[in-house]
Amino acid sequence: MVTGDLVVGVLALQGDVREHLHALAEADALARPVRRPEELDTVDALVIPGGESTTIGKLAVEFGLLEPIRKRIADGMPVYGSCAGMIMLADEVLDGRPDQQSFGGIEMTVRRNAFGRQVDSFEAGVTVEEIEGGPFHAVFIRAPWVERVGPGATVLARVDEGPAAGRIVAVRQRHLLATAFHPELTGDLRVHRHFVEMARAARTAD
């Protein structure tokens, strides 16, 4: 249905929007911020940035984006979420605020600020299935981890080393991809390139 370059939106309500726009442009996608339902209509795929999931959810309601994004997800729009974005893609959120909202879509239960009980931020080696080139130097900032996934979701990565070794930190469910870490902050473009490829494949399949 769509011709020309792939347009990937970045949900621009709160969080590290600029870093994702930059990483997507480097990964050869046309990247643009999305704040309004009309802007959502113009994108082929969407990135939900890291930031504060409670705030992103609240603003999504205020800006009239919660239901439109849920509908696009149900209709097969490719979405990638990092950290707070991972929380927004989870069907179930533990340790959320009472008014915590998520778009859902991935059959997974995430725990907010899961590592944060010991330490607010840390870096660790993470090997991501489906992405070649060796382990990521992954940055976690008040990150969630995934406690369990349902049958529709595939675990792509666990922390390789340290006290959190074995914790699930990357998941894919068909057109939806989520990482608990922030590749947009480290200049390693492999996750964004992988997502852009997923989005191009989804568009060709339409």
Ligand X SMILES: NC(=O)CC[C@H](N)C(=O)O
List residues near ligand X by CB under 6 A.
50-53, 83-84, 87, 112-113, 141-142
Closer CB to ligand X, 72 or 182, in the complex: 182
Q: Annotated active-site positions, please? A: 83, 182, 184
Is 141 annotated as ligand-binding?
Answer: yes
Structural tokens at position 181:
């870490």
Question: Least CB distance from residue 81 to ligand X, whole Å?
Answer: 9
Query: First and final CA of the chain: distance in angstroms?
Result: 7
The tokens describing 195, both together, are 């997502």
**Crossing angle, helix 53-62 and helix 66-74, to 10 degrees?**
100
Q: Is 32 annotated as a binding residue?
A: no
Name every residue whose Cβ is closer than 8 Å to that of residue 20 and which is 6 or more positions away in sequence.
10, 31, 47, 49, 82, 184, 192
142 is in an annotated binding site: yes
> Is 152 flagged in the annotation as binding?
no
- Residue among 161, 153, 154, 206 nearest 140 (CA): 161
Distance in Å, CB of 200 to ligand X, minimum: 26
- The nearer residue to ligand X, 75 or 117, going by C-beta atoms, is 117
- The residue (of 28 and 92) whose beta carbon lies closer to ligand X is 92
Minimum distance, C-beta of residue 93 to ligand X, in the bound complex (Å): 9
User: Which residues carry a binding-site annotation?
Assistant: 51-53, 112, 141-142
